[in-house]
Structure formats: structure tokens, C-alpha cells
A and B are shown apart, each in its own frame.
Chain A
Amino acid sequence: MRSGDSYQVMLIGDSAVGKTCLLVRFKDNTFLSGSFISTVGIDFRNKVVNVDGTKVKLQIWDTAGQERFRSVTHAYYRDANALLLLYDVTNKASFDNIRAWLAEINEYAQDDVVIMLLGNKSDMTSERLVRREDGERLAKEYGTAFMETSAKTGLNVELAFMAIARDLKSRKSRRPNEPKFNVAEYVDQEKQKPSCCS
């Protein structure tokens, strides 16, 4: 493993759910509007974040969602410390595929990998097809943290990555008798709910 506080984070999920947009919002605080630029293979970006006064380096793998890249991305699951699993709240199929993604994670990733389920594009209220409660229920079933995000407005984007950084860091520095950091609880406290959705 790499020295210092450096962690590998991987973004996964169906094609066109907004993985790259989410990452660009987090890294550069901009939104990639206009035409859809699909990722080819895996893109790599670094971002150093500050958690309680210490620097944590996130090495972020942004994967292509298309089926033909699955066999390639599998190989990188085992090195990932955290996985951001995305679906698109306006695309029912992308939500239905989440179970298949979780099965893949189960098969290929490390046992202690941090998983966060994200329902992206929550700003598109009129086209929404997946209710927030559905996402919450699924996350509960699999015991993962969950929130809805919007790469367009920036809702919960920073929080998603920061929660992961916090969790990874606390795992490393935690003394045996300290309480375990619970990313799901932390996220529940901190996350903002989109004001206009039902």
C-alpha cells in the first residue's frame, strides 16, 4: 500500500449516470455541461483534502460504465479502499443494476471496502423515476451509506468524498477502544435534502 494517508477511491455505476461529472464537480467545482463525453477505460485524478487539520490524498479512479470495460475494471477493485456507486435518479435501469454492481463488489473488492451509494442528478425533479426512499431502502439492505447528489448544483458532492476520506482516515488512526466511525450515520447527519423534491 502507498505510504502516508493516501487512499484509492473508485467511481462505479452504469454508463451516463454522471460519474465523471460528480468527480469534476468535486475536484474543480465546475459542471461539465453540454455534450456527453463518455470515459474510455479508466481516468485517474488526485485530490488532496483536509480532514481535521491533516492532509489526506485521494487517488480517484473514474471508470467507464460500459459493459465491455467491466472485465478491465474488475482488476482494480481489489486495490480500492472506497467505492462510490452511482445511479441516476432519472434512469430506472441504472438503479435496478445496483444489485448487480453490489454483487460484483462483493466478488472482487476487499472485504473492508467503504461503499457509498449515490443517487445522482437529484436536481432533475420533473424527470425523476427513482424515489429517494427506494435508494434509502436499498442502502439499508446492504448496509451502505446513501445520499442523493447533484453534480449540477453541487448538492452533497463535497460531503460524499469528505465522508469517505474521514472514514478511511479514522480506520487508520483509530485506537482499539475508540468508537468506530460510522460513515452511514455521519452522512445521515450531514446530508442536505433537496428542498424541492417530494
Chain B
Amino acid sequence: MAAEISNDSPSDEILQGSEPGASRNSMLLATDSYDDLASYLSDTNLSSDRDRLSSGSISEITHPTETESFDPKSVISEEVGPEVVENEINEQLENSLDVSASPVDEPAALATSDSDTVTERIGLDTPTSQLSELSTDHSQPEACTGNNSDEQEEEVEYVHSQEWRQHRKHVFILSQSGKPIYSRHGDEDRLVTLMGVMQALVSVIGDGQDLLRCITAGSHKMVFLIRENLVLVAAARSIESMPQLLLQLTYVYNQVLSVLTLSQLSRIFKQRRNYDLRRLLTGAEKFFDNLLNTMDRDPCFFLGAVRCLPLESSMRDTIAQSIAQNAKVKDLVFAILIADNQLITLVRMKKYFLHPLDLHLIFNLVSASESFKAAESWTPICLPKFDSGGYLHAHISYMDEECRSCLLLLTVDRDVFFTLSECKEKIRERLVKYKCLAAIAESVDQNGYKTSQVGIPELRHFLYKSRSAAQFSCPEYEAPYHTADQRDRLFGLYQFLHHRIHSSSRPLKILFHVGSHETLLGWVTSGFELYAVFGPLVTKSAAINSVNKLLKWIKKEEDRFFILNSPTF
């Protein structure tokens, strides 16, 4: 029961630049996270020095004299408008998918002509023992050695256990040589054989100068992200599309880089191909777990946008000024204040921008770590979009006793802890003096805003993304979406809507979808993306009228929901 309108827009299309949340001076890079997918999908050689849309370079900051020549780097990524990038992506996605001749929605989407046989063999009901034969067949002994038959049997049993199999989404990280590094569910040590199979599949198809991207088996999708040293695999039985799963794997990969840096990762595997990377990732499992759990409920990832804590713009300006004036430290690149996985303000060094993907990793670092609540911390963090080659050093501290708002000061200088500690104290004093912390606490406790405030009775929930600002806004999850189950279902609807609209084979501008429990309207222009959920009985024209009304309302509130200026030190 889906009606699609591909090349038709509602009558009063909003001009780009005046849509709600339009930002001419964004502090975030407005390139969509799908750019990563595009470069991945269009990339057949696995070299690590493929062009990246990096927003900065640590050496540029530490050795400013050497840098004038390649300074345009950051400017380039700024100038590439979201539209251009998006079009390119779509083209590239299309091209790459044409090559593999397998649209995402169809079963058996596999990148090679061998697909049928391999798909048959990896069908989830195939016993693992058979699969391990497959892997030994193809000369990858190191992945399977060291297991006597008892252990293997135990493993097979484990993989067949109901408990392990019932998980909706598995995510695995393995090294190029097939060594297990991480498994979202279960002990990766007991999955050695399974990961050996994955490695074998990747390598067999790689031998034919091809890339394994996706296997569909019944209701399961298995998506592969192959990088220079790592293979990431998602096996999911869910509504998510192949590109959406691939994007999630990209986030997981970037989380690895955030912990280790690309240069360290490459160096390690160059020295020892079969290095057990778990040694270096001890204690980082919580970042992967938390990231994957958050990706199953927070739309910020597939939207490639950041949510801001609603605040009066005058209050937000005061906060930004308090930070900018008291953190005038050489080599301080970003100062970020966040609360409850939402951005309060971001002050940046002129010339440098943050990518939403990097900011998501920062949110993940903070929300996954309890230890920051107890003391001031000093932590190395690599922001892969900013510079995957090195660490920034983050001074991390909570501003209040209740640990609502967290301040991060990111620098390239590892010796300025005490300087930044003093800055932080001055900033905190200002924030107390001007009652900023109280305003933040109030906004956090209020839990955003309610859909009913918009004044459209049939509207149940919505996501609105300003593409130029790379920010999005959404109301609180109220009934009927207040339970975890219903919220998950709503999240699935949004993923479905997002995927249909961004489908590489058939991108849409507007999609009106009548489901059994609700009606969905998705609308994407060059300036914004809007996903709205209505009751099941709303008509198409009523929905479009409501959406226009909604846009006016967001426009009226845009100063509260979005950060439209871009403060610098």
C-alpha cells in the first residue's frame, strides 16, 4: 500500500537556505556519512591511502609552518556542498551496484559469479563443520589450526545454541588472517572456526579480483566491510538495508581507529600479520558494545547528524563565550560541551571543522565510560575523520555533581593537562555564575519537547535534519512509542523510510507510505530531510499540509533546536 511520488514536490517548496536550521556557517562538516560508503563501494583496491575527507591534520597544527601548502585540505571538504557529494554518492553507489548487478532488496546479493554456490553453502542452517571444510579447502590453515576436534565440536555446539542464534544482530571483527578480534555476542574465542569461514569467503572472492559485500540467506543479511587490515561482518535479521548495515560497520571500524589510530594499526599488522589485536583492544570492548547498542536506537547514525540540547540561543551564546574566552590556549583544537548524548556547544579553532561521525565517537566515549564521572581525565583519542594518523589529547570532566554536562577540551599538545585543568575551572565558574548549568539541567530533565507542542493532532513523531548544519531534531518518544518494543518498531520504520528514500537504485524525494499501524511521510530536499509518522488514517493531502505546518513550527523554534553559528577561539 505504498504510494510514491518521485518527481513531485508539495506546492510550497522551501527555498534552500531558508529551511529550518539552515546554516551558512556550520561548525560541523555537512558531508553525509554515506560518503564513506561511497568511497568504500567504489573502491576496489584496499589501499589505506585512498582519499579521505579529513577535516584537519594534527601535524598541520603542531608544525604550522610546513602546512601552508596543503592547507586547502580542510577547505575542500567544506566547499563540497552536501548536494554534490550526495549526487556523487548516489552515482557511485549505483555504479558499484551495477557492477555487482545485485540490487540490495533482492536475495543473494553477492559480488561475484560464484555467488550461488557460496550462498547455498553459507545458508545459516549449514553445519559449521562443513563450513570449516570450506575454509581449509582454500588454504587458510592458520585460522583453523590449534583446534583439536573436541574444541571444534564444542564450538559448533556453541554456534548452534539457541541462545547465541537468537540475537537479532551479530557483529564480528577479525583480522585479515582470520584471527578473531571482537564478537558482539558470545566469546570470540569460541568463534574461531566461524571467523575462519568468514575470512575464507572474503579471501576466495578476493582471489577473483572481487570484493565480497553482502550475502542474503533467507531473512538474514550478512554484510562485509573489508579494510586493509580488518574484516568486519554484520549478520542481521532485521529491516536494516545493506548500506545501513555497512554504515554501522564503518562506525565500528572508525571506533577501532579511534582507539588505535590507523597508523598504529597498519604498523602492527605490517610487523606481524597474525598479531592478536585483542591485546591492544583490552578494555575497549565496552566502546564497541555501547556503540552497537546505541546504533540500534539512535537515528543520529543513519542520519549522519548531531542532536543539540534545546536551549535559548542567548543562553547557548553565553556558554560558547564562557568557553571561548577562558580556553584561549595554543593548540587547543576543539572545546565541546555535551549532555545526554546531545551537543550543547562546540567551539573550534578557526580553519578546523568536526565531522558528525567523529562527534558520534566522542559521544560514545563519554557515554560508555563511567570513570570520567569520578575524576578529571586525560585521554588520547583519534578522530578518524579529522586525522586518522594520530591522537588528539582530551581533557574530560563533568561540570556538575550530577554528571549531566561533560566538557571535552581537545588539543594536539600532550603536556597541557594542568593548563586545561585551570581553563576548565574558570569555565565552570562562569557557567555557574551565569546560571548556564541550571539551564542545562532544566533542559536535560525536561527531556526535550513533546510532539503535541507542534499542534498537529495526527502527527505522532518526526525526525528533521538540516543538511547544511548536519544537525537533527526530534521530539520525545511518547505513547504509543514509550515502550522499548514500540520504540524499536518506530526506529525500524524510520530506517525503512530512510532506506527507501536513499535507495541507490531508485532515490526518491517524497515517499508516502500507509502501513497497518501508522502512515509515514518522508521528504528530502537539498536543504533538509524530514521523516514524519502519522496515525494510520491520515490522507496524503492532510499529511502534506501537516508537514508544511511542521516545517513552519520548526523554523520558529530553530534557534532553540539548532546551533546556527559557529564560535571559534
Is A196 interfacial (CB 8 A cutoff)? no
Contact with B along A61-90 (1 / 0, CB 8 A): 010101111001001000000000000000
B391 nearest in chain A by CB position: A72
CA distance A66 to B369 in the complex (A): 15
Please tell me if the beta carbons of B283 and A42 are within 8 angstroms of each other in the complex: no
> Out of A20, A43, A44, A68, which one reaches B259, CB within 8 Å?
A68
Is B414 interfacial (CB 8 A cutoff)? Answer: yes
What is the bound-complex CA distance between A66 and B365, given in angstroms? 16
Q: Please tell me if the beta carbons of A38 and B283 are within 8 angstroms of each other in the complex.
A: yes
Closest B-chain residue to A35, C-beta based?
B370
The answer to whether A68 touches B282 (Cβ under 8 A) is: yes
Name which residue of chain A comes closest to B279, CB basis.
A67
Q: How far is the CA of A186 from the CA of B54 in the complex (A)?
A: 56
Q: Contact: A40 with B379, CB < 8 Å? A: yes
Q: Which residue of A lies closest to B286 (CB)?
A: A38
Chain B residue nearest to A20 in the complex (CB): B371
Bound CA span A67–B276, Å? 13
Give the CA-CA distance A101 to B540 in the complex, in Å.
Answer: 69
Interface of A, helix, strand, loop or mixed by DSSP: mixed
B365 touches A40 (CB 8 A): yes
User: Is B332's CB within 8 Å of the partner chain A?
Assistant: no
Is B566 among interface residues, defined by CB-CB distance under 8 A?
A: no
A64 & B370 in contact (Cβ 8 Å cutoff): no
Q: Give the residue of A15, A37, A68, A72 whose beta carbon is less than 8 angstroms from that of B371.
A: A37
Q: Please indicate the chain B residues that have their CB under 8 angstroms from the CB of A37 in the complex.
A: 370-371, 374
**Interface check A170, CB cutoff 8 A:** no
Main secondary structure of the interface of B (DSSP, over half): mixed
Considering only residues 314-366 of chain B, those with a C-beta below 8 Å from chain A are: 365
> Smallest distance from the beta carbon of A159 to chain B beta carbons, Å?
22
**In chain A, residues 1-58, which have Cβ atoms closer than 8 Å to a Cβ of chain B?**
15, 20, 24, 37-45
**How near does chain B come to A50, taking the closest CB pair, in angstroms?**
22
Partner of B379, one of A20, A24, A42: A42
If the complex has contacts A37-B371, A43-B371, are A66 and B377 also in contact, measured as CB distance less than 8 A? no
A39 to B373 alpha-carbon distance, docked (Å) = 11
| Chain A CB within 8 A of B376 CB | yes
Quick one: which of A40, A42, A45, A67 contacts B282, CB cutoff 8 A? A67
Which residue of A24, A41, A66 contacts B378 across the interface (Cβ within 8 Å)? A41
Taking CB atoms, residues of chain A closer than 8 Å to B417 are 44
Asked if B282 and A66 sit within 8 Å, CB to CB, the answer is yes
A40 to B377, CA, bound (A): 8
Q: Is B479 an interface residue (CB 8 A)?
A: no
The residue from A43, A64, A75 contacting B283, defined by CB atoms under 8 A apart: A64
How near does chain B come to A163, taking the closest CB pair, in angstroms? 23
Whether A68 contacts B375 in the complex (CB less than 8 A), given A37-B370, A44-B417, comes out as: no
With A68-B259, A75-B414: A43-B282 Cβ-Cβ less than 8 Å: no
Q: Which residues of A contact B3 (CB under 8 A)?
A: none
User: Of A15, A44, A45, which is in contact with the most chain B CB atoms at under 10 Å from its CB?
Assistant: A44
Is B369 within 8 A of A68, CB to CB?
A: no
Taking CB atoms, residues of chain B closer than 8 Å to A69 are 380
**In the complex with contacts A44-B417, A68-B260, A38-B371 CB distance below 8 A:** yes
Q: B365 — which chain A residues lie within 8 A by C-beta?
A: 40
B278 to chain A, nearest CB (A): 10
Distance, CA A62 to CA B376, complexed state (A): 10
B375–A62 contact, CB under 8 A?
yes
- CB of B281 closer than 8 Å to a CB of A: yes
Which residues in A have their C-beta under 8 angstroms from that of B369? 40
Instruction: Tell yes or no: B484 within 8 A of A by CB.
Output: no
Cα A37 to Cα B259 in complex, Å, equals 18
Residues of A within 8 A of B443 (CB): none
Residues on the B chain within 8 Å of A42, using CB: 377-379
Known A-B contacts A38-B371, A67-B282; A44 and B379 likewise in contact (beta carbons under 8 Å): no
Cβ of B377 and Cβ of A15 under 8 Å apart?
no
Task: Please name the residue on chain A nearest to B366 by beta carbon.
Answer: A40
How many Å lie between the Cα of A71 and that of B282 in the bound state? 15
Interface pair B375/A15, CB less than 8 Å apart: no
B280 beta carbon closer than 8 Å to chain A? yes
- Closest B residue to A61 by CB, please name it: B378
Given A20-B371, A62-B375, A68-B260, is A41 in contact with B283 using a C-beta cutoff of 8 Å? no
Are A44 and B377 CB-contacts (below 8 A) given A68-B259, A68-B260?
A: yes
- Give chain B residues whose Cβ lies under 8 Å from the Cβ of A41: 377-380, 394
Beyond the given A38-B283, A40-B371, A41-B377, please list 6 additional residue pairs across the A-B interface where CB-CB is below 8 A: A40-B365, A40-B379, A67-B282, A68-B280, A68-B282, A72-B380
Across the A-B interface, the 5 shortest Cβ-Cβ residue pairs: A41-B379, A43-B375, A37-B370, A68-B280, A66-B283
Q: Would you list 27 pairs from A and B whose C-beta atoms are within 8 A, ordered by A residue?
A: A15-B282, A20-B371, A37-B371, A37-B374, A38-B283, A39-B377, A40-B283, A41-B378, A41-B380, A41-B394, A42-B377, A42-B378, A43-B371, A43-B377, A43-B378, A44-B377, A44-B378, A44-B417, A45-B376, A64-B283, A66-B282, A66-B283, A67-B282, A68-B260, A72-B414, A75-B414, A75-B415
Give me the interface of B with A, judged by CB distance under 8 Å. Answer: 259-260, 279-284, 286, 365, 369-372, 374-380, 391, 394, 414-415, 417, 421
